[in-house]
Amino acid sequence: MPRRSLTTASVARLKPPSQGQLDYFDKGFPGLALRISYGGGKSFVFFYRISGKLRRMTLGTFPALSLADAREAWRCARKEAIAGRDPVLARKREKPAIDFEHVASEWLMRDQAKNKSRREVQRIVNRELIPAWGQRPVPEITRRDILDLIDGIADRGSPIMARRVLAYVHRLFKWAVGRGIIDTNPATDLPKPGSETKRDRVLSDDEVIAVWNASISLGWPFGEAIRLLILTGARREEIGALQWNEIADRQIRLSSARTKNGNPHTIPLSAPALTIIEGLPRIVGSTLVFTTSGKTPISGWSRAKVALDEKIAIPTPWRIHDLRRTVATGLQKLGISLQVIEAILGHVSGSRAGVVGTYQRHSFDDEKRAALEAWDAYVLALVERCNPEKPLPELGLR
């Protein structure tokens, strides 16, 4: 077996074998090895002898368990083995039966803290997982339990949600293995339910008019927020959590912490978009543009969407996010270049990926503003043609 002085960098670089598994023993730490399987999985293991019989103990998986933590776990296990005690049995005696709700809470706090979708993950955990496994000890949750849960979600007509729940469960249990809470991940290699459909819904001009008009009667705060989504092509979270100090010089300036891809992003504001913002109520002492409490951004988009649908008759199902795709498609119809559209959306893939993205540093600020002004003029022309008897204030531009 290969023996070398492992480092964090070398552990990350080591390639998996073409078949089976390979153990790299850590020089200076007798019995400690990094085991790499042909599928790419890496785990730290400890080989020891009890009563002359060779045994193996899994300490945890990399990178959830770092090299430094693996060496510390090795020291504790080796101390037990030298004393003639089986460290596996010792760990089982010492390890409390931690219930799933506690582990899920720790996972959200430690593993998902920097995930921009953490709130959505937490919502799904609380709705789908806690009711099923809340007080059950994590080591008792089996593959069969997971399959039953996932199948139940798929059977109620939610295959996409089933796939996402499975992904969260797999990551949670993988993290639990790395923390030494369980020895193996019961969600490994489970079949994925259904297939995730790529969404391509684009609203027609008539549907854009219908949504705009319905948003006016929907009122504060979601009505104004939805009209800004139509005018800017921004993401729902970017507008929903908008802060007053992010609006300056006729544009929205989002820091890297506020964007999906982690890059700062600016969104030019046309005259109609600025008019909507300037007419918004403002809660004294609050930094948030769209808030009812003054302390937290608006929530309840799903309820707002239901209320919106009750006011319009769009036969084909649609989502709030489809507005963003509709803006991109509308800009294409107006002859706007792909690079400018991607700059407006804050995308770093497509024409701005790879070498082009590395060396093309032009911000397209002027082009973005001109494009959105053209799009917003197009939208307002549609709305005014549909409502010739209504003045601008009644069209949501106070």
Lowest mean pLDDT, pick from 93-97, 124-128, 129-133, 285-289: 93-97
Q: Which residues of 227-249 are buried (b: 16+ CB within 10 A; e: fewer)?
A: bbbbbbbbbbbbbbbbbeebbee
Specify the pLDDT at position 278: 94
Specify the pLDDT at position 35: 93
Q: Show the domains of the chain with their CATH numbers.
A: 3-94 (3.30.160.390), 100-178 (1.10.150), 205-395 (1.10.443.10)
Residues 6+ apart with CB under 8 A from 191: none
| Spatial CA neighbour of 214 closest among 316, 307, 324, 322 | 307
What whole-number percentage of the chain has pLDDT above 70?
90
Higher pLDDT, 268 or 262: 268
Specify the pLDDT at position 315: 81
Q: Residue 2 pLDDT > 50, yes or no?
A: yes
pLDDT in tens, 7-37: 999 999 999 888 888 999 999 999 999 999 8
Specify the pLDDT at position 352: 47
Specify the pLDDT at position 356: 41
**What is the overall mean pLDDT for the chain?**
88
Residue 340: band (very low, low, confident or very high) from pLDDT cuts 50, 70, 90: very high
Mean pLDDT of 150-178: 89
Alpha carbons 212 and 217: distance in angstroms, whole number: 9
Specify the pLDDT at position 274: 96
Please provide the size of the chain in residues: 398
Mean pLDDT of 85-104: 78
Alpha carbons 270 and 238: distance in angstroms, whole number: 17
Specify the pLDDT at position 94: 57
Residue 351: band (very low, low, confident or very high) from pLDDT cuts 50, 70, 90: very low
Q: Residue 93 pLDDT > 70, yes or no?
A: no
Q: Residue 156 pLDDT > 60, yes or no?
A: yes
User: DSSP code of 288?
Assistant: B
Whole-model pTM over 0.85: no
Residue 337: band (very low, low, confident or very high) from pLDDT cuts 50, 70, 90: very high
**Taking CA 368 as the corner, what is the angle to CA 384 and CA 375, rounded to the nearest 5 degrees?**
15
Specify the pLDDT at position 202: 94
Mean pLDDT of 174-197: 83
Q: What is the CA radius of gyration of the chain?
A: 27
Residue whose structure tokens are 């499975």:
166
Specify the pLDDT at position 106: 92
Residue 344: band (very low, low, confident or very high) from pLDDT cuts 50, 70, 90: very high
